[in-house]
Amino acid sequence: MKQLQFIGMQPYDLIQEMRRELIPDIKRELKEEFQPKEPTVYLTRQEVCDLLSIDMSTLHRWRKDGVLIAYGLGNRIYFKRNEIETLIEKNRLK
């Protein structure tokens, strides 16, 4: 952000300088900071297996070992899609 010097500046000049320099910076920063939150997408066990091309037993083992975090609702088990994508990205080959 730029610094403004107020010494000897007329009020009209100050307002014009703020419009030209400060307001666009503030708008840009606010736009970056307050992006709309994407809704969480939950996947079933079968959807995760299909996505990762793995067997249900592998998914169960990864869940038991703490590789993937499972979320339960009643007798249903779900996984967050963004967590799976993050895990894949973190473990990608270089």
Residue 76 has phi, psi (to 5 degrees) of -100, 150
Buried b (16+ CB within 10 A) or exposed e, 57-69: eebeebbeeeebe
pLDDT in the model for residue 32: 82
The answer on 49 and 27 residing in a single domain is no
The answer on 80 and 47 residing in a single domain is yes
> What is the domain extent for residue 64?
42-90
Going from the C-alpha of 27 to that of each of 21, 24, 35, the distances in angstroms are: 11, 5, 12
The span from the first CA to the last CA of the chain, in angstroms, equals: 37
User: How many structural domains is the chain composed of?
Assistant: 2
Sort 89 into a burial class: Cβ within 10 Å, 0-12 / 13-18 / 19+: exposed
State pLDDT tens for residues 7-56. Answer: 777 888 878 877 887 888 888 888 888 877 788 999 999 999 999 999 99
Prediction pTM value: 0.59
The answer on 26 and 61 residing in a single domain is no
